[in-house]
Structure 1
Amino acid sequence: MLRVAEDLPYADKEDPRNWLDIAALVRQIRAWDLDVVDFQLFRGFRARDPAYLRSIKALCQQCGLPIGFLGVGRGFVGVEQIDGRPEGVALPQADRRQRIAEVKEGIDLAAFMGAPLVRLFGGGRPPPPPPPRRGGGGHWGGREGGGDARGQGGVGGGPPPGGL
């Protein structure tokens, strides 16, 4: 696999003004004679409406490029500076709910685009939470969001329990 511009140092990769246009990217991948295209769903796409997504899917087909996966999610972990190092921290419940909703939307859009695989970006591991109170219980956002993929014939996966 050739990862194009994955780790190039460029200013503020979270800023949409720095993203490549998806149609131009697809054409460039075809010009390089690569054989598959992978997308991070909410980066570079000008819209989420069906007509636009259908046009990107059609462009991929015209170029003979199957969609390998659509990456969704911004992770279920926040980041704080602890002792000068970025550390994963648990998100507040409202933020976690919002990110789960984004994953569910991404799964629906991936199914619409015909992507055979959804890559869920979960983030780092926060410190272990306190034990749940009796009658309570925790859940992992990826498990909840991934349920949608299974309902649409998808298959989920992630890193092993011990991490990578």
Structure 2
Amino acid sequence: MTGSQGNTRAVARRTVVAAVGGAGLAGALSACGNADDSGPPASQQQQPTGGTADGGAAGTVLARTTDIPEGGGKVIGAVVVTQPRAGEFKAFSSKCTHRGCAVKGIADGTINCPCHNSRFDVADGSVKAGPATSPLPPAAITVEGESIKLA
């Protein structure tokens, strides 16, 4: 074996070790997400500006006021409607600002993303726990009688 072969073998061994280490890191990172995590970050995705993902438009009834629990809320298509205090209704995009996953549940005063456990305040959409760093964008709604509608 010549000196150059010895160096080639050492480089190859380092390359393999680095590749295996990188693959392990990639596997660990992918275990954090799910199928929804494969898209671009939420900052590069379009956010709803009116209507819903399923084709709703301004004036579309989202829910009745009695459907939205005080201190909680309900995810309805592309929006999440909350009632932080009795008679006060808010709405936000239902897409997490971290990676664009759909938020799923509302509990203990927070809107919760199941992908990476980001939590947002039901009153203003602000981040209560990351990895998200941006609040949920507000969605425009109106309350007419017992109907909550897209504005």
Larger Rg: 2
What TM-score do the two structures reach when normalised by structure 2? Answer: 0.25
What TM-score do the two structures reach when normalised by structure 1? Answer: 0.24
The structure carrying a bigger strand percent of its residues is 2
The structure carrying a bigger helix percent of its residues is 1
